Structure 1
Amino acid sequence: MSLTLAQRTQLRKRAAQEAALTAPTALMDGLSNYELMLAKLQQDQLRLQQVQSTQHKALVKAELLGEYKPYIDGVLSAGRGAQDDVVTTVMLWRFDAGDWTGGLDVAVYVLQHGLKMPNRFNRTTGCLVAEEVAEAALKAQKAGESFPIDVMVRTADLTEKQDMPDEVRAKLKLALGRGNLEGLDATNPGQLGQLQTGIDLLKRAIELHDHCGGKKDLERAERLLKKLAGPTG
């Protein structure tokens, strides 16, 4: 569904109007633009089912996401929190495509209004948001790559009051702890308090889940802290 600029603008405006008129506890079902986008979503999901490669699926999702942007922008600008499977699915697709900022922009709306994920998901929305970001961050860190710490911080803030298994919250704390400690050593102690913040996050991760995998990171960080503190007494 390739749209002109004028069509995209109209879709955004109509989506905003429909979302603004739909009560928070209602469903978007029966509204013309929602039904249009839902039908498109179902077609695109069928297309994705034909793709076996996870990496290729992420590329296809990245390609498709622009076609949903006018609708998403409209809902986010004026929506009152009606249940919307297009919005929740696009949030997840943005994560899958590596658009973490875009995904979190949708997550703000989704979590604020308590939108539920489609029935095929067995995780709560808050749990899904936290775990998607945490697992991507841990995977990048394991590969020796950086993951945006601002994304992890924003995710932690957004999901702080969301209910989820301790193991999931521990993953996010672990990723954040490692992110704070990344590149720190005796010649690069980081910003004031950065090392201690990393240590505190690792301790919290271990408290939440003893087998989260952060114990060696904590040992290294505490050794570095002692080294930087110098001899005592």
Structure 2
Amino acid sequence: MAHSPAKNHYVQALAAKEAASRGSNELMAGATAYEQHMAQLQSDRLRLKQVQSAQAKAELKRDMLPAYGPYVAGVIEAGNGTPDEVLTTTMLWCIDVGAFQEALTVAEYVLRHGLAMPDRFERTTGCLVAEEIAEAALKAQKVGELFDAGILAHAAALTATEDMPDEVRAKLHLALGRALLNGVTDDSVPPGADVQAGVDNLKRAIDLHSSCGGKKDLERAERFLKKHAAPPADAGASS
């Protein structure tokens, strides 16, 4: 459902107008832009059900997401926190396709207004955001791929006060610790690495869940810090 720039502008403006007219306890049902995108969402879900491969589903979602962009932008621009299944679903789809910054932009709005995920999701919104991004990062790190520490730090900050199992928050701190320590060797620290922050996040992960898998990472990082610690001042030096 590709649109021209003019059509996208119209959809975004309409979504903003309708979202602004709804209070936080009102439903978006009946709003033209919302109903149109819910109908599109139902159609897209039916298409996704026909696909068994997780990778193929992700590619299909990647193709589908641009159709929701103007609507989502309009709601975020002017919305008052009205429950919105289109918004929460596209947030999750963005995570699924690796569009993490876009997902966090939506998550900021969703978490600020305390919007819940649809009933079929057992996790709270904050838990889902933290766990899905953490697991994506840990999966990438497991095969030696880079994952942006800034994305993980943003997710950690957004969900810092959200209730979730300790094991879930541990995953996020573990992934962040590893991202901050990426490329650190016994003799060098690559640009952008923050060894102390990495150590702090690994310690937090282990404190939250002792079996999170970060103990060896922590040992290596602390060994580096000890090796490169500044020598103590010579208290016995003559004046």
Cα distance in 2, alignment partners of residues 203 and 30 from structure 1 = 49
What is the aligned partner in structure 2 of residue 219 from structure 1? Answer: 219
2:65 counterpart of 1:98: no
Segment of structure 1 superposing worse, 25-34 or 130-139: 25-34
What is the aligned partner in structure 1 of residue 237 from structure 2? Answer: none
What is the aligned partner in structure 1 of residue 133 from structure 2? Answer: 133
Amino-acid identity (%): 55
Q: Which structure 2 residues correspond to residues 46-85 of structure 1 after superposition, within 5 A?
A: 46-85=46-85
What is the aligned partner in structure 2 of residue 122 from structure 1? Answer: 122
The answer for unaligned runs of 5 or more in structure 2 is: 235-239
Q: TM-score, normalised by structure 1?
A: 0.95
> What is the CA distance between 1:30 and its match in structure 2?
1.6
> What is the CA distance between 1:4 and its match in structure 2?
2.5
CA RMSD in angstroms, aligned pairs only: 1.7
Cα distance in 1, alignment partners of residues 18 and 229 from structure 2 = 60
1:161-194 alpha-carbon deviations (Å, 9 max, x no partner): 1111100000000001111111112331356992
Cα distance in 1, alignment partners of residues 143 and 181 from structure 2 = 16
Tell me how many residue pairs correspond in the alignment: 233
Cα distance in 2, alignment partners of residues 14 and 192 from structure 1 = 42
Q: Which has the higher helix share?
A: 1
Cα distance in 2, alignment partners of residues 149 and 20 from structure 1 = 34
Letter of the 1:47 partner, please give it.
R
2:7 counterpart of 1:7: yes
What is the aligned partner in structure 2 of residue 199 from structure 1? Answer: 199
Segment of structure 1 superposing worse, 218-227 or 162-171: 218-227
Q: TM-score, normalised by structure 2?
A: 0.93
Cα distance in 2, alignment partners of residues 10 and 196 from structure 1 = 49
> What is the CA distance between 1:63 and its match in structure 2?
0.4
C-alpha spacing 1:192/1:111, structure 2 compared with 1 (3 Å): closer
Cα distance in 2, alignment partners of residues 45 and 192 from structure 1 = 41
Q: Indicate if the aligned counterparts of 2:182 and 2:193 stay in contact, CA closer than 8 A.
A: no
1:13-46 alpha-carbon deviations (Å, 9 max, x no partner): 1100000000011111121211111011000000
1:48-72 alpha-carbon deviations (Å, 9 max, x no partner): 0111111111111010111111111
